[in-house]
């Protein structure tokens, strides 16, 4: 999948420092400000004109996302000008889904990567004003600040067709619970019948009107907010990290891997290879907007049982969006015809578009999300231990 490389004059996206703490999902960084595109055929050189056959005229049109659904209809393009000379009946091959006139057309967009060292503050403000559902889970309008308006720039459509070029960032949160001591110490032989980690929602961020089938590398700033279904994972992390990672005290955790000494993650952001245990994983899907104060209960039964049986009661995991490939430049949720793409769950992927949530979390141990457990104690537990656990039918750890 060809892409147009972008030069960021004020920063290198690979050097932007991200931190993780209380957010999970995919946050997009590039936004179309309007659905229009313009192709200046009259400006083509003689060589380029040959590539477009007889199309020496200007073409304007709209990315008709409103009628194109998610990834089920990959066209979603309408022309304002006479299209009699435009081949609108492209084939099904990936390279033929979009007319060359559209691929080489100019669109208006905002690229948050230009925030450089101020990226985190800029992105937080931008998403809170434009991509965040209300506290009651309702769509809100776009509210561009003057700073955002000043960032609107022109770029070829081809540059946002693919998810490359640092078009999004992965948000995952790490958790560490130590049940190896204390009043509610968990011991070998205990059986976890059911366990959930309970996240109290602070905010939920979604996508506006866009067809991710033809635009993999951007969100839009037009149309109502909605939630594209996305699959998330809880996966065991093999590295024995401590609470400093959970509490966002580690500088740029997603970039600290390798470095020859393998002191941290061996792979990007601890997302694959020896950093994770794919035998201890659970999944859940979010398809509707969540309200502030909603409690998201996520199954971690297998994770807690594994911690009791094999980790001396020490529980480590990350909650993250499910992907087939994690990297800093681009992440992909599915594979179609040999191409890595972002695909909806009903298309064989795990989700498309901007979608992440934030939850309540403090830095003290008593400010961590709670774990609810239905537990069957081992047969030789003392009477005192049984009495301690039987004070409540469901233990809150």
> What are the residues facing 306 on neighbouring strands?
none
Contact, 293 vs 357, CB < 8 A? no
Exposure of 129 by Cβ count < 10 A (0-12 exposed, 13-18 middle, 19+ buried)?
middle
- 335 closest CA partner among 350, 321, 320, 316: 350
Cβ-contact 289, 204 below 8 angstroms: yes
Tell whether the torsion through CA atoms of 334, 335, 336 and 339 is positive or negative.
Answer: positive
Question: Do 168 and 331 contact (CB within 8 A), yes or no?
Answer: yes
Looking up tokens 């690229």 gives 111
Q: CA angle, corner 370, sides to 181 and 282, nearest 5?
A: 95
What pTM value is reported for the model?
0.87
Beta pairing, strands 36-40 & 58-63: antiparallel
Give the pairing of strands 219-220 and 30-32. parallel
CA distance 16 to 255: 9
**How many angstroms separate the CA atoms of 104 and 94, rounded?**
16
- Rg of the chain on CA atoms, in Å: 24
Per-residue pLDDT of the chain (397 residues; tens, 9 = 90+): 344 445 555 567 667 777 678 999 999 999 999 988 888 766 554 444 444 454 556 778 887 765 544 444 455 677 776 655 565 555 444 444 467 777 888 999 999 988 877 888 999 999 999 999 999 999 999 999 999 999 999 999 888 888 887 899 999 999 999 999 888 899 999 999 999 999 999 999 999 988 766 788 899 999 899 999 999 999 999 988 888 888 877 776 776 665 444 467 888 888 999 999 999 999 999 999 999 999 999 999 999 999 999 999 999 999 999 999 998 888 888 888 777 888 889 888 899 999 999 999 987 777 889 999 999 999 998 888 888 887 654 555 5
């Amino acid at each position: 999948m060809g892409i147009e490389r972008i030069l960021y004059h004020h920063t290198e996206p690979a050097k932007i420092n991200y931190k993780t703490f209380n957010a999970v999902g995919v946050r997009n960084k590039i936004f179309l400000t309007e659905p229009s595109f313009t192709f200046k055929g009259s400006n083509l050189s003689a060589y380029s004109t040959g590539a477009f056959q007889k199309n020496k005229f200007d073409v304007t049109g709209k990315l008709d996302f409103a009628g194109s659904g998610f990834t089920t209809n990959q066209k979603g393009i309408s022309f304002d000008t006479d299209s009699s000379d435009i081949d609108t009946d492209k084939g099904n091959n990936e390279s033929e889904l979009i007319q060359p006139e559209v691929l080489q057309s100019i669109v208006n967009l905002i690229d948050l990567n230009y925030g450089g060292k101020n990226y985190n503050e800029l992105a937080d403000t931008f998403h809170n004003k434009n991509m965040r559902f209300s506290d009651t889970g309702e769509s809100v309008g776009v509210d561009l600040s003057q700073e955002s308006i000043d960032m609107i720039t022109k770029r070829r459509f081809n540059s946002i067709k693919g998810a490359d070029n640092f078009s999004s960032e992965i948000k995952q949160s790490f958790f560490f619970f130590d049940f190896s001591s204390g009043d509610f110490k968990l011991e070998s032989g205990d059986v976890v019948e059911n366990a959930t980690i309970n996240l109290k929602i602070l905010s939920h961020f979604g996508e506006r009107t866009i067809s991710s089938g033809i635009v993999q590398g951007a969100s839009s700033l037009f149309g109502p907010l909605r939630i594209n279904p996305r699959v998330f994972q809880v996966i065991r992390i093999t590295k024995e990290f401590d609470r400093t990672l959970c509490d966002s005290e580690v500088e740029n955790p997603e970039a600290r891997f390798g470095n020859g000494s393998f002191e941290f993650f061996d792979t990007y952001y601890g997302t694959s290879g020896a950093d994770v245990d794919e035998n201890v994983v659970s999944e859940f899907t979010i398809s509707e907007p969540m309200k502030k104060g909603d409690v998201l209960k996520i199954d971690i039964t297998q994770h807690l049982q594994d911690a009791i049986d094999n980790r001396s009661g020490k529980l480590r995991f990350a909650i993250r969006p499910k992907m087939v490939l994690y990297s800093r430049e681009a992440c992909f949720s599915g594979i179609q015809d040999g191409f890595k793409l972002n695909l909806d769950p009903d298309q064989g992927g795990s989700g498309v578009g901007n979608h992440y949530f934030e939850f309540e979390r403090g830095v003290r141990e008593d400010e961590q999300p709670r774990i609810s457990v239905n537990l069957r104690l081992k047969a030789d537990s003392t009477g005192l231990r049984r009495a301690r656990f039987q004070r409540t039918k469901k233990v809150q750890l």
